[in-house]
Amino acid sequence: MKILNIDIDNYGTLEDFHINFSENPYIIIEENGWGKSTLASFIRVMFFGFEDESKKKLEERERYRYKPWNNGTYGGSISFEVGGKSYRLDRTFGSKVADDESKLVDITTRKEVSDYDLNTLGEQIFGINKDAYIRSLFIGQGNIEVRNDKDNIEDSITAKIGNLTEATDDVNNYEVVMNKLKTSSYALKSGNKKGEINLLNATRAQYVAELNRTDVVEADIEQHENTIEAMSAELENYKRRLLSLNKEYELAGMLDAYREKENNLKQLCEEIDKTEAQLKKIKEFFGKRIPDKEEINEITEAVKKAHELKSRTEQTANQLHGVSQDLQTGDLPAREVMDSLMTSIRKREECDDRIREAQSQYSHSKDMLDMKKDMELREWRRDQQKAEDDYEQALKAVQESVKSSWRMSVIVGIIIALISLVALLAVGPLGILGVLIGLIVIIVASLSRKSKEAKAKEQITKVAIRPQPDFSEADKDLERIAELIATHKDKYAHYDEQIKSFCDKYQLADDELLENNMLKLQSRLSEMSKNTELMADYEKQKADYEKLEEQIRGWFFETGITASKDWTDTIFDARHNLDDLKELTSKLEELMDRKADYNIEKNFTEEEISSVRPIEDIKADREQTDNATNQLREVLDERKDELDALFEQKKELEETRANLLVIDDKLEECEHKYDIISKTMGYLEKAKEQLSARYMDPIEDAFTKYYSYITTQYLDKYELDADINISRQEMGHRRSKNSLSQGYKDLVDISLRMALIDVMYKDEKPWIVLDDPFVNLDTEKLAQVKDFIEEISKEYQVIYFTCHESRA
């Protein structure tokens, strides 16, 4: 396997990036932040996809972290060799997996192929999953240790080693079966509170606790039955007491009804006397005759109109007096002069507004033009500089091309001349012709070179020239705005001169109150013209009022109504009395009819009357008895409901007892099943350890080989167990590698990783990515790192990233 080259459109900090892995090992030495880890991530993601795709927070997902900031195409391509064929893998990443686009192309045929499933490309090529790739073929800073997951090394690595040491499907099948057994064991028990055995035990304990309540429930049932019997007897006594009280209450009600009728008849007679007295008083108000409602409405309108005429007459008289006082003094200009001045005031204000608006426009346009000039000139100078640079490069390229063509032609001419000289010695005069042809070729080539260079230079010069920006039209626009400002200022001065002349003549101040003073002058002129009209209106209004006054006084005399000072109050009283007269007459007729229909019958004896208690006492006694009955009935219903609930609990307890038997049978079955699974897992683990021992020697040998490349210390002290855990012999004890310094731990883990890779890949060797894994090594060990990389690069393609020359 081998990576040929990488092309990245956009990925993290890398943009429009290309790299060709022409050397092995391929070492990239760049400072921090250049994108070394980003490039390593790109290689992994192209084959295995992004990590953390299921994270809820967007910023925690790897897809989001490497998304380009410039919104360019997210992705790129990687060309590689595997299985004797060359491929190019193209991937474009979206916001989620469903938006990704991928394509695999055979580089030889340049056609898209389906040799691999692109969703699991890495697993198919390397035979391991993404986590196993990170723990084996990708050796990164801070991620060197071959970590163990719980009891065993990563399943995918174990399976790969097992398959390549001719263990056929034993390891794979072991992991599948062991995972299923673990799942079944976990579902049954294995410390899981939700395991079936734990749930059954919890349910059984709950059932036993519920059955302990059986005696209490039966005792409660007996107590409730006795209580209900006693309360039912008491309820019957309350019912008999209520029946007696209802009869007494009915008799008392009939007596009260009789007494109420007598009292109502007395009140009815009093109401009739009161109504007759009110009718008499209303008839006395109308002395001679009672007018109808329409007549009242007509006289009301007449009074209202008379009041309005009187008020208008008084207002007109006051206006006449005020106008006569105002017009006695004051020298007023003609109306035409005042109208012309008001127009000049408004025109001057308009000119002032237009001057400010044009000045603001001029300032804004000038600022924008200056900005535009500066920006376009800088852009023109930049384009000119670029055009000059392009011109020099293009001219140089043309000259090189023409020069190359000229050299070829001269060489051909020289060859022809040399051949002709040789022929001259052999054949005589014909050789001279060949020499001439060679010289002609050389001369023509030289002339053609100069012509081509001149034409190319002329053509490139035409392309490169770009005229300087022209701002003459924009400058003319500014000049037009300036001319408009001057025109408005001339008009403003003209109107200002007219206003000042008028103010000087009539001794007025040219200030903010000038327009108000002019309006007051106009108002006085209008009052003078209205004086004659007001006098005519006053005489007519006065005559109309006197006529109405005579009509109203005549109506009061005809009806006999005594008029008060305010006619409106008198008319209101007349209208009110007329309405009351109609209402009281109808009311008296109704009262007389009710009195004629009144009939009182006495159906009681004196003895019955004297024996009946007051109805309030009977009602209170009945309410008290009724409340006590309802309360007793509610309590009785509650006790019956409680008894029903107790019987339901007894029934549920009987069902619980039956369920307990079922739980016991199920629990026994699950315990037996759990025991069988536990024993099976133990036997499988022993079998797996025996199988793992078969490939321990190759891993240990490879570990020793790689470890010796960098150091020769402690070689005889390290030991590898069946779970690929490294320990060393020290002071009579086996100690974990964690007792070593960080530098030696890194050496052990790097050597162990390379040993695993050797055993995992016997035939086709994969590439290995080293992302600065030697940061913890001292100077002595770093001196051996180059030999180590050179040795592993003999069998593997090595891509090594580092930020410091000392580790390269």
Tell me the pairing of strands 767-771 and 138-140: parallel
Handedness of CA 50, 52, 56, 57 (dihedral sign): negative
CA dihedral angle for residue 310, residue 315, residue 318, residue 323, rounded to 10 degrees: -140
pLDDT tens digits, one per residue of 55-96: 878 778 889 888 987 778 999 999 999 989 999 999 999 988
Higher-confidence residue: 606 or 49?
Answer: 49
Lowest mean pLDDT among 139-143, 407-411, 604-608, 750-754: 604-608
Tell me the percentage of the chain whose pLDDT exceeds 70: 80
- pLDDT at residue 735 greater than cutoff 70: no
Q: What pLDDT does residue 78 have?
A: 97
Rounded to whole angstroms, the Cα distance separating 793 from 774 reads 17
- pLDDT at residue 32 greater than cutoff 90: no
Q: What pLDDT does residue 7 have?
A: 96
Q: What pLDDT does residue 687 have?
A: 66
Give the model's confidence band at 175: pLDDT under 50 very low, under 70 low, under 90 confident, else very high.
low
Q: Is 391 in contact with 466 (CB distance < 8 Å)?
A: no
pLDDT tens digits, one per residue of 208-220: 888 888 888 888 8
Tell me the pairing of strands 2-11 and 75-82: antiparallel
What mean pLDDT comes out for the span 733-751? Answer: 76
- pLDDT at residue 601 greater than cutoff 90: no
Q: What pLDDT does residue 106 have?
A: 94
Higher-confidence residue: 316 or 34?
Answer: 34
pLDDT tens digits, one per residue of 274-310: 888 888 888 878 878 888 888 888 888 888 887 887 7
- pLDDT at residue 731 greater than cutoff 70: no
Q: What pLDDT does residue 329 have?
A: 39
Higher-confidence residue: 607 or 115?
Answer: 115
pLDDT tens digits, one per residue of 498-525: 788 877 776 677 666 666 766 666 665 5
- pLDDT at residue 665 greater than cutoff 80: yes
pLDDT tens digits, one per residue of 96-121: 888 999 999 999 999 999 999 999 99
What mean pLDDT comes out for the span 482-499? Answer: 85
What mean pLDDT comes out for the span 469-473? Answer: 79
Rounded to whole angstroms, the Cα distance separating 415 from 445 reads 14
Q: What pLDDT does residue 325 have?
A: 45
Q: Is it true that the peptide bond before 291 is cis, omega within 30 degrees of 0?
A: no
In three-state secondary structure terms, 55 is coil
Q: What pLDDT does residue 545 have?
A: 75
- pLDDT at residue 806 greater than cutoff 50: yes
Q: What pLDDT does residue 755 have?
A: 85
Q: What pLDDT does residue 708 have?
A: 79
pTM: predicted TM-score of the whole model, two decimal places:
0.41
Rounded to 5°, the CA angle 584-588-594 comes to 140
In three-state secondary structure terms, 795 is coil
Upper half-sphere CA count for residue 660 (Cβ side, 13 Å): 15
- Mean of all residue pLDDT scores within the chain: 79
Tell me the percentage of the chain whose pLDDT exceeds 90: 12
Q: What pLDDT does residue 165 have?
A: 41
Q: Is 684 in contact with 178 (CB distance < 8 Å)?
A: yes
Highest mean pLDDT among 53-67, 73-87, 124-138, 537-551: 73-87
Rounded to whole angstroms, the Cα distance separating 62 from 475 reads 56
- pLDDT at residue 6 greater than cutoff 80: yes
Rounded to whole angstroms, the Cα distance separating 185 from 680 reads 11
Q: What pLDDT does residue 518 have?
A: 67
DSSP state, residue 9? E
Orientation angle between helical segments 696-710 and 742-760, nearest 10 degrees: 130
Query: How far does CA 82 lie from the centroid of its chain?
Result: 46
Give the model's confidence band at 173: pLDDT under 50 very low, under 70 low, under 90 confident, else very high.
low
Q: What pLDDT does residue 328 have?
A: 40
Higher-confidence residue: 655 or 320?
Answer: 655
Q: Under 8 Å CB-to-CB from 600, ≥6 apart: which residues?
A: 258, 261, 262, 265
Q: What pLDDT does residue 435 have?
A: 67
Higher-confidence residue: 460 or 635?
Answer: 635
Give the model's confidence band at 153: pLDDT under 50 very low, under 70 low, under 90 confident, else very high.
very low
pLDDT tens digits, one per residue of 325-382: 443 434 556 667 777 778 888 888 888 888 888 888 888 888 888 888 788 888 888 8
